[in-house]
């Protein structure tokens, strides 16, 4: 039997509808949730993501302030802008679109954003809070993955979850979130011995490696939930995940497509974090 397809686009739409109500309530109480969106340079993919984030803000009712800086912007001037946004009472969230041009130290910029305005959840304070189970902003893609699992009714308590990929922005935070749900978590990476064998143990398999079609049907335990975090652009312009969708569709119990799976959840969770920032 074919796997059930987890429709991230539809779940993201539901979340944004729920947030519209919340934003109305905030506005009625005198707060206009406001997100500052900073884009440096002309990377075409980043420009599309920023455009989609601003459109999502408009849909939900969040005010967005746009800062589009040239590719040769210095680290000092970007830090100055972040400082100004940090100090503005009417700005609740700050988003600096990544990647940044090479002359700018990304870590320095992310650390300059005040943790309570860090709606991307990338500041070390928020990352640390997640790992010790304290409240804070959780980065949007990992939070989106958990929301997809929850809203699909996937039980996590006691289940074996295997994450392929140990990045700071996806693999590690997803592991922390799954642990928080009482799952048994394994993180695999390029040096893992017998990666297919580890993957085959998984009730929930999360692929975040950045290699097109890396996870084959033979990696998947029959009936497992397969979450594909990969967004790889192929030479023909088509998008492709880290999971061999055609093969895994025949083995898995649930699967996320690319596009239309985890990707749309990233923006929905950014909206959720902005509303939370404005509510505080």
Ligand X SMILES: Nc1nc2c(c(=O)[nH]1)N[C@@H](CN(C=O)c1ccc(C(=O)N[C@@H](CCC(=O)O)C(=O)O)cc1)CN2
We find the least distance from the C-beta atom of residue 160 to ligand X, in angstroms, to be: 26
We find the least distance from the C-beta atom of residue 149 to ligand X, in angstroms, to be: 17
Q: Does 242 bind ligand X (CB under 6 A)?
A: no
Smaller CB distance to ligand X: residue 251 or 258? 258
Scanning residues 106 to 125, which ones bind ligand X (CB under 6 A)?
120
210 belongs to an annotated ligand binding site: no
Among 115, 212, 217, 260, the residue binding ligand X under the rule CB under 6 A is 260
| Residues contacting ligand X: total by CB under 6 A | 17
Q: Does 239 bind ligand X (CB under 6 A)?
A: yes
CA-nearest of 194, 192, 233, 226 to 208 is 226
30 belongs to an annotated ligand binding site: no
We find the least distance from the C-beta atom of residue 263 to ligand X, in angstroms, to be: 2
Paired strand residues for 162? 186, 205
Smaller CB distance to ligand X: residue 149 or 195? 149
We find the least distance from the C-beta atom of residue 241 to ligand X, in angstroms, to be: 8
233 belongs to an annotated ligand binding site: no
Q: Is 230 helix (H, G, I), strand (E, B) or coil?
A: coil
Smaller CB distance to ligand X: residue 140 or 154? 140
Q: For the chain, what's the residue count?
A: 280
State CA 176 to chain mean position distance. Answer: 14
Q: Does 231 bind ligand X (CB under 6 A)?
A: yes
We find the least distance from the C-beta atom of residue 60 to ligand X, in angstroms, to be: 15
State CA 85 to chain mean position distance. Answer: 23
Residues designated as active site:
53, 97, 120
Smaller CB distance to ligand X: residue 100 or 195? 100
Q: What are the tokens at 16?
A: 């944004």
One-character DSSP codes across 88-115: -TT--EEEE-SSPPTTS-HHHHHHHS-G
The torsion defined by the Cα of 135, 32, 85 and 35, in degrees rounded to 10, comes to 70
Among 263, 268, 271, 277, the residue binding ligand X under the rule CB under 6 A is 263
Alpha carbon separation from 228 to 161, 198, 275 (Å, rounded): 13, 17, 27
Q: Does 267 bind ligand X (CB under 6 A)?
A: yes
62 belongs to an annotated ligand binding site: no
CA-nearest of 258, 217, 266, 243 to 6 is 258
CA distance 150 to 159: 14
Scanning residues 79 to 98, which ones bind ligand X (CB under 6 A)?
95-98
Non-local CB neighbours of 200 within 8 Å, separated by 6+ positions: 218, 219, 220, 221
We find the least distance from the C-beta atom of residue 212 to ligand X, in angstroms, to be: 13
Cis peptide before 107 (omega within 30 of 0): no
Cβ pair 197, 217 in contact under 8 A: no
Smaller CB distance to ligand X: residue 173 or 264? 264
Paired strand residues for 263? none
Binding mask 36-65 for ligand X (x = CB under 6 A): -------------x----------------
The annotated binding site for NADP(+) is made up of 165-167, 231
Residue ranges that bind ligand X, judged by CB under 6 A:
49, 95-98, 120, 140-141, 231, 239, 258-260, 263-264, 266-267
């Amino acid at each position: 039997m074919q796997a059930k397809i987890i429709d991230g686009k539809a779940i993201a739409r539901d979340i944004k509808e729920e947030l519209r109500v919340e934003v109305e309530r905030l506005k009625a109480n005198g707060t206009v949730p406001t997100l500052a969106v900073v884009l440096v340079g002309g990377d075409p993919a980043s420009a599309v993501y920023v455009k989609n984030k601003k459109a999502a803000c408009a849909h939900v009712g969040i005010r967005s302030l746009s800062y589009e800086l040239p590719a040769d912007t210095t680290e000092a001037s970007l830090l100055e802008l972040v400082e100004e946004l940090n100090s503005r009472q009417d700005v609740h969230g700050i988003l600096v679109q990544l990647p940044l041009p090479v002359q700018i130290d990304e870590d320095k910029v992310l650390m300059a954003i005040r943790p309570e305005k860090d709606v991307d959840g990338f500041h070390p304070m928020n990352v640390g809070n997640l790992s010790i189970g304290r409240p804070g902003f959780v980065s949007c893609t990992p939070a989106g993955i958990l929301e997809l699992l929850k809203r699909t009714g996937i039980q996590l308590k006691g289940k074996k979850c295997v994450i392929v990929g140990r990045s700071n922005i996806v693999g590690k935070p997803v592991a922390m979130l799954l642990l928080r749900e009482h799952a048994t978590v394994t993180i695999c990476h390029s040096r893992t011995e017998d990666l297919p064998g580890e993957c085959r143990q998984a009730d929930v398999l999360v692929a975040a490696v950045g290699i097109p079609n890396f996870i084959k049907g033979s990696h998947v335990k029959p009936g497992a939930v397969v979450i594909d975090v990969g967004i790889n652009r192929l030479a023909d312009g088509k998008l492709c995940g880290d999971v061999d969708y055609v093969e895994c569709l025949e083995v898995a119990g649930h699967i996320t497509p690319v596009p239309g799976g985890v990707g749309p959840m990233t923006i929905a969770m950014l909206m959720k974090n902005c509303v939370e920032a404005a509510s505080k």
